[in-house]
Structure 1
Amino acid sequence: MSSQTPTPGPTESRPTWIRWPDGRPRVGFGGDYTPEQWPREVWKEDVHLMREAGVNLVNVAIFGWSLIEPADGVFDFSTFDEVLDLLHGADIAVDLATATASPPAWLVTAHPEIRPVGPAGEVLGFGGRQSWCPSSPLYREYSVRLTEKIAEHYADHPVLALWHVSNELGCHNARCFCDISAAHFRTWLQDRYGDVNTLNDAWGTQFWSQLYTSFEQVQPPRLAPTYPNPTQQLDFARFSSDALRDQLVAEADVLRRVSPEVPVTTNFMVMGETRNMDYAAWAADVDLVSNDHYLLEGAAEPQLELAFSADLTRGVASGRPWMVMEQSTSAVNWGHVNRPKKAGELRRNSLSQVARGADAISYFQWRQSRAGAEKYHSAMVPHAGAESRVFREVSALGADLAALEPVLGSTVTSDVALLFDWDSWWSSELDSHPSQDFRYRQVALEWYESFWRRGICVDVVPATTDLAAYRLVVVPALHLVTDAVADAVAAFAEAGGTVLVTYFSGIVDEFDHVRLGGYPGAFRDLLGVRVEEFSPLREGESVTLSDGSTAARWSEDLAVVDAEPVLDYASGSYAGQPALTRRALEHGAAWYVSTALPDATRDAVVDRLVADTDVAPVAVANRGLELVRRTGPRGRFLFAVNHTGGPLTVRTSGRSLLAGTDVGPVVEVAAGDVVVVHEAD
């Protein structure tokens, strides 16, 4: 296993979107279909209801390994042959899985060594799902063999529109600490560092007498008497993401060899605190990016995090259209208290993701299961059947998506970029840090929120993205930063852009070594400030700022070197010292925020940033409307989503695609409604 997994050739040489069997482009709509859970007499009813709901794409065989290969080397495709023929007859396309997500009982029984192992040495048993070690050569051998058999059997089936590698890679087995993983980790480290002396330098092993004289002495960061080596932990996170990526590539290579004309995807999980997979690195391995998203349990406004995740998914996809592979129609089964979605929420959630670049919408799952761990997870056809609110909403959404066919191929362009980085996420939340309450994604989401509430589109993009097209770049808690990224951010500002950097940014290099000379390290010269100490705040503690507002979580001993104080600390250890600064450059500007600003103060900063950079909202509208504009060969499409309990208005003119009427110059969006306007030129 190598840290230098070969990147496939340019996506231009591969298919880039769903290969519809009849060649007619459409907005994809459907869900995971598991006919193996139901008797045959249900299948015809399923197809009838799918057509009624407007379903045109279903995901099949995701957990089909034990049915397709009931014994070692014995393959039986009869069930899925029948199902695919039935779907083809109904003009419903198939995203066909490699069925490798969960190995069957016979494989785990014959080869128990493929099971994953936790950091304390606990072996995870069979009976859930994903009971396999990402580094296991035996699992790789069996899974690739199954992938090849499925590809060869179905490559020419007329219903095949898309290949689906595994399912939610790393959802439950992202990091394995077994001896096989340890051996592969050592190989990965040899590829990365070349020799053990270079590794010792990178890991700082002179500390705590951790010096290695051979790669054979290196282990994963298993449970230890106290904190494991930080760079060892960071490299193991990178290695573990790469191990899963290698599995993706191994299966995708088989599919492309057998059927190069059929696009390949796998479902990412850009949502919430799912952080173990570096999707920015994985994106080149798929022909189109697809994502699973489930709302945050207990969130007061879950649509905010949904929008952030959708914009990050588009950023990972380099701005190209992407698809929603999974979401829930109503309640999930895995939260602490699983509440159903309110009437209309299903529609708003889905159309918000279409607004942000999704050209296909899918759910887990088509029919709600009678048995198993997910029997209380909602579905398109719930336990109550077709005579239910959920199915009526599903069918109404199908009609909406059909009406949105003109938006296909368009995308979102923004003047604002927010940098997001998995290395920073992993490194900033390691143990033995200034605060164990620090949450990387929380900092990013808070700054995103201020733009979202103003109807200003933001591209949430990997830190290595070319910044030339933007006016304003937000750098929230980019704790780990390479010289190349730091130089690119500085060059953007020096060329006339405006940059805002928050606390705990620029602190360490790619080896998790502190950049000496004072914080914020890599950004110190750009920002014209110097910090000697962090002073994180405990829960319940706060500091007052010079505008009378109250900040929490973090404060810093900040000194101005070549910048203008904008806001000071008015209480606490650093009273009278700056909390927020701005450095004017010849053409651009660089801001630094040394604390977690309260909402109103952060909003005021954003107001000044957008005024200084001439960044404008998508449209003139009442506050409370979620606004996004997609632009493409067929024109401009304004999406307005009303999450409030009252009517709101937006200034635009054109054709309302969902209502089928001409509208403008002021359009009312009813409470809880969505309007999509094909804007007049």
Structure 2
Amino acid sequence: MYRGVDYYPEHWDIEMMDSDLSRMKEMGVNLVRIGEFAWHLMEKEEGKIDFSFFDRAIEKIKEYGIEVMFGTPTATFPAWLVQKHPSILIEDENGQKISFGGRRQYCYNSEVYQEYSLNIVQKLVTHYQHEKAIVAWQIDNELGHEGSDMCYCSQCQKAFHSFLEEKYETVDELNNVWGTIFWGQTYNDFSEIPVPKKTITVHNPSMMLDWARFRSQSLSEFAKKHVELVRELKGEHQTVTTNLPGGFFDKWFDHNEFSRSLDYVSYDNYPVWGGLKEPVTPAELSATLDFVRGLNKQNFWIVEQLMGAQGHDIIGYLPRPNQAKAWSYHAFAHGCNNMLYFRWRGMNRGAEQYCLGILDANNQKTRKFHEVKSFFNHISQYEDLFDAPIQADVAVLYDFDNIWAWRIQRESSQFQFMNELVRMYEPFYRQNIAIDVLRYDHDFSTYKVVILPVMKVIDEELVRRLEEFTKAGGTVIMSYRAGVKNKQNNLILGETIPGKLSPLLGIQVEESESLHDGQQVTVVTTDGEESTCKVWRDIVRPTTAQTLYHYTDHFYKEYACVTENQFGEGKAYYVGGGLELDALVDLAKDIAQDQGLQNIQTEPGVEAVRRTDGTTNYIIVINHNGHEVTFKNKVLQPYECRFFEMSEEGTIDELS
């Protein structure tokens, strides 16, 4: 198990390395991550390659028995490169070139940048391919983060035309699919098609979805070229990964497209960052980690784990004592098996002076150092446990085409895709049931429950798979706006919503209403239990389904909001609005009982995760609260994590 820190020896006097490395060893570090922003240090002038600084640094690191993950430096190119080739810079939707001075300012469709970036990677990996201390290569850094996934330059426009011509073959077919007859947007040639810079009102939704697919392909092809080059040149003992940033569903790329070419997925785990007054909820954080694990359906690395407060200009929430340590346990519970903290020491100059690390600028060992030391000491005893796979009975499915369609047309001012995914994820999470978050093309036939949040874009093949799954005894749960659009991001003429899903769900949606800030509607069960919906509501008429919740307002009280439909040996549920959590938890409890799902009851804010190493069954209990709680009559302090062993008879004993 690798336990380490992100370390940048070039930021400091090299004479500090002995002090740094000796304290790292004391803390339990056996791996450091270096190099990902150091292109200029490696090539101060074009063609003058010099790795001597890192030669010396690696020799010093080896003296302390520490190994290395080396980041290829292409996320921050040198100033001389942009001065010579300004075409490499991203152009924004207003036609303005992004200035040099930040990071990831390069266009993925720039052939010039591809050439220069692959050249430095080729030189770097070749130089160190036989270096035994380097055990992993990290490609670039947080691809597509902070808006770097979008560019509107002439290079992108040319590549977009090629993308469209390959997809549609003729411009007449494109016109037909996009419906360009509307607003007189019909094209005579692919070369007439613009990139979607700012215009009056909005661009064509079908065009915008193809633009999103093109953006994703642009990034993914860039990443794959770098992965393939490193894989070709690296030593046999070296692996290839890249570090994914958070905010997956707010990105214009599908992480699956390049992640499946990696030896393992790596992630930068920030439960809080600059500007946030409090961390994301444990449910959202858990769903995020389950998404990372679901990309390749295997355990993953975290190569940036937060320890200190963060912010480039506005500083976010200060993690309380042991809270960041709890997030570290939480990450391991959800599939992390190797972890590096960001960063060893906070930088005292430059843009990230307020991205605090294990050590601050005072260079003193404080609480954070001792928290990491105790965590490393404990977690290293369970390597086999955290290398073992996680088995889940519940899967949450997503499709980036659907996510982008929502971004293009939000329909409600209150809509956020991640919120709606968490809305459907959290009812099972609260029962401490293991969940996988997967792209829809994964095989889901072995699960017991499959959840598809707000899947308004859907194809007939997925409908068929869902029907087969449900007929065989599975449970499907879908939320509002399901089946509204086809894969061209168009409404379907002549079909009543939810279209091809109607037989499975046993409903027809006669009308819908977008709910905005301050608006909610009341729903009630046949037993008189009330709840509310926000964001959206579908006016549902059951055909074969049973009504679980119906509306109470005068015009729609005869219509359903939540339904249950028997389909073959299984059941399909429809949640026709942004139903509040308590009602969804009640529904999930009934489904869990019906499907025999293993759940563990805990106090609010307490998470209990089942894991096994194949021999021993464990329950990892994490108190996400800032106050004491109990589990099995054991008191957990604020943000404390404890390991329990569960016998075959079901008894639970605390481990030391």
What TM-score range do you get, normalising by the shorter chain?
over 0.9
Structure 1 CA distance, aligned partners of 2:53 and 2:108?
A: 29
Contact 1:275 1:422 in 2 (8 A): no
Q: CA deviation at 1:273?
A: 5.4
Aligned pairs for 1:105-254 (under 5 A) are: 105-172=79-146, 173-254=148-229
Structure 2 CA distance, aligned partners of 1:679 and 1:348?
A: 21
Structure 2 CA distance, aligned partners of 1:177 and 1:348?
A: 42
Q: Which residue identity is paired with 1:676?
A: F
Structure 2 CA distance, aligned partners of 1:57 and 1:271?
A: 27
Aligned pairs for 1:370-389 (under 5 A) are: 370-389=348-367
Aligned pair 1:267/2:243, yes or no? Answer: yes
Q: CA deviation at 1:301?
A: 5.5
Select the residue among 491, 508, 511 that pairs with 1:514: 491
Q: Which residue identity is paired with 2:640?
A: D
Aligned pair 1:478/2:467, yes or no? Answer: no
CA deviations on 1:141-174 (whole Å, 9 max, x unpaired) are 0000000000110010111110110000111311
Q: Taking structure 1 as reference, are residues 80 and 426 closer, same or farther at Cα in structure 2, changes over 3 Å only?
A: same
Q: Taking structure 1 as reference, are residues 259 and 301 closer, same or farther at Cα in structure 2, changes over 3 Å only?
A: closer
Q: Taking structure 1 as reference, are residues 305 and 257 closer, same or farther at Cα in structure 2, changes over 3 Å only?
A: same
Q: CA deviation at 1:111?
A: 0.5
- 1:350 corresponds to which residue? 328
- 2:652 corresponds to which residue? none
Q: CA deviation at 1:668?
A: 5.1
Q: CA deviation at 1:435?
A: 1.8
CA deviations on 1:496-553 (whole Å, 9 max, x unpaired) are 1111110022221211122341212342221011112220112111111122222222
Aligned pairs for 1:573-588 (under 5 A) are: 573-588=555-570
Contact 2:259 2:296 in 1 (8 A): yes
Q: Taking structure 1 as reference, are residues 477 and 260 closer, same or farther at Cα in structure 2, changes over 3 Å only?
A: farther
Q: CA deviation at 1:272?
A: 6.6
Structure 2 CA distance, aligned partners of 1:624 and 1:152?
A: 49
TM-score, with length taken from structure 1: 0.90
Q: CA deviation at 1:649?
A: 4.7
Q: Secondary structure at the match of 2:577?
A: coil
CA deviations on 1:398-453 (whole Å, 9 max, x unpaired) are 2122222232420211111111222211111213x532321111111112112122
- 1:7 corresponds to which residue? none
Aligned pair 1:544/2:510, yes or no? Answer: no
Q: Taking structure 1 as reference, are residues 438 and 63 closer, same or farther at Cα in structure 2, changes over 3 Å only?
A: same
Q: CA deviation at 1:334?
A: 3.9
Contact 2:241 2:262 in 1 (8 A): yes
Q: Taking structure 1 as reference, are residues 441 and 572 closer, same or farther at Cα in structure 2, changes over 3 Å only?
A: farther
Select the residue among 609, 614, 639 that pairs with 1:672: 639
Select the residue among 471, 486, 492 that pairs with 1:494: 471
- 1:398 corresponds to which residue? 376
Contact 2:260 2:295 in 1 (8 A): no
- 2:301 corresponds to which residue? 323
Select the residue among 611, 618, 625 that pairs with 1:644: 625
Report the more deviating stretch, 379-388 or 250-259: 379-388
Q: Which residue identity is paired with 1:312?
A: F
Q: Secondary structure at the match of 2:408?
A: coil
Q: CA deviation at 1:131?
A: 1.7
Q: Secondary structure at the match of 1:411?
A: coil
- 1:444 corresponds to which residue? 421
Extract structure 1 runs of 4+ deviating beyond 6 A: none
Structure 2 CA distance, aligned partners of 1:201 and 1:195?
A: 10
Contact 1:533 1:557 in 2 (8 A): yes
Q: Secondary structure at the match of 2:251?
A: coil
Q: Taking structure 1 as reference, are residues 70 and 634 closer, same or farther at Cα in structure 2, changes over 3 Å only?
A: farther
- 1:91 corresponds to which residue? 65
Contact 2:335 2:386 in 1 (8 A): no
Q: Taking structure 1 as reference, are residues 545 and 213 closer, same or farther at Cα in structure 2, changes over 3 Å only?
A: same
Q: Which runs of 5+ in 2 are unaligned?
A: 649-656
Q: CA deviation at 1:270?
A: 3.8
Q: Taking structure 1 as reference, are residues 201 and 628 closer, same or farther at Cα in structure 2, changes over 3 Å only?
A: farther
Aligned pair 1:567/2:567, yes or no? Answer: no
Structure 2 CA distance, aligned partners of 1:476 and 1:367?
A: 41
Q: CA deviation at 1:260?
A: 5.7
Select the residue among 256, 267, 279 that pairs with 1:280: 256
- 2:578 corresponds to which residue? 596
Select the residue among 16, 20, 43 that pairs with 1:42: 16
Q: Secondary structure at the match of 2:160?
A: helix
Contact 1:132 1:139 in 2 (8 A): yes
Q: CA deviation at 1:276?
A: 2.3
Report the more deviating stretch, 588-597 or 549-558: 549-558
- 1:295 corresponds to which residue? 271
Q: Which residue identity is paired with 2:262?
A: V
Q: CA deviation at 1:32?
A: 1.9
Q: Secondary structure at the match of 1:545?
A: strand
The count of corresponding residues between Structure 1 and Structure 2 is: 638
Structure 1 CA distance, aligned partners of 2:3 and 2:168?
A: 46
Select the residue among 48, 55, 59 that pairs with 1:74: 48
Q: CA deviation at 1:223?
A: 1.1
Structure 2 CA distance, aligned partners of 1:196 and 1:633?
A: 57
Aligned pairs for 1:412-451 (under 5 A) are: 412-431=390-409, 433-451=410-428
- 1:528 corresponds to which residue? 506
Q: CA deviation at 1:54?
A: 0.8
Structure 2 CA distance, aligned partners of 1:436 and 1:493?
A: 33
Q: Secondary structure at the match of 1:552?
A: strand
Structure 2 CA distance, aligned partners of 1:468 and 1:272?
A: 25
Structure 2 CA distance, aligned partners of 1:194 and 1:676?
A: 59
Q: Which residue identity is paired with 1:29?
A: R
Q: Which residue identity is paired with 2:607?
A: E
Q: Taking structure 1 as reference, are residues 520 and 116 closer, same or farther at Cα in structure 2, changes over 3 Å only?
A: same
Contact 2:306 2:341 in 1 (8 A): yes
Q: Taking structure 1 as reference, are residues 133 and 300 closer, same or farther at Cα in structure 2, changes over 3 Å only?
A: closer
Structure 2 CA distance, aligned partners of 1:301 and 1:76?
A: 43
Contact 1:357 1:630 in 2 (8 A): no
- 1:59 corresponds to which residue? 33
Q: Secondary structure at the match of 1:460?
A: strand
Q: CA deviation at 1:603?
A: 1.3
RMSD: 1.9
CA deviations on 1:171-205 (whole Å, 9 max, x unpaired) are 13111000001111111222222222232233222
Contact 1:515 1:522 in 2 (8 A): no
Q: Taking structure 1 as reference, are residues 299 and 200 closer, same or farther at Cα in structure 2, changes over 3 Å only?
A: farther
Structure 1 CA distance, aligned partners of 2:569 and 2:393?
A: 17
Structure 2 CA distance, aligned partners of 1:127 and 1:624?
A: 42
Q: CA deviation at 1:316?
A: 1.0
- 1:654 corresponds to which residue? none
Q: CA deviation at 1:580?
A: 0.8
- 2:609 corresponds to which residue? 628
Q: Which runs of 5+ in 1 are unaligned?
A: 1-25, 652-665
Equivalent pairs: percent with the same residue? 29
Q: CA deviation at 1:91?
A: 1.6
Q: Secondary structure at the match of 1:285?
A: coil
Q: CA deviation at 1:38?
A: 0.5
Q: Taking structure 1 as reference, are residues 454 and 298 closer, same or farther at Cα in structure 2, changes over 3 Å only?
A: farther
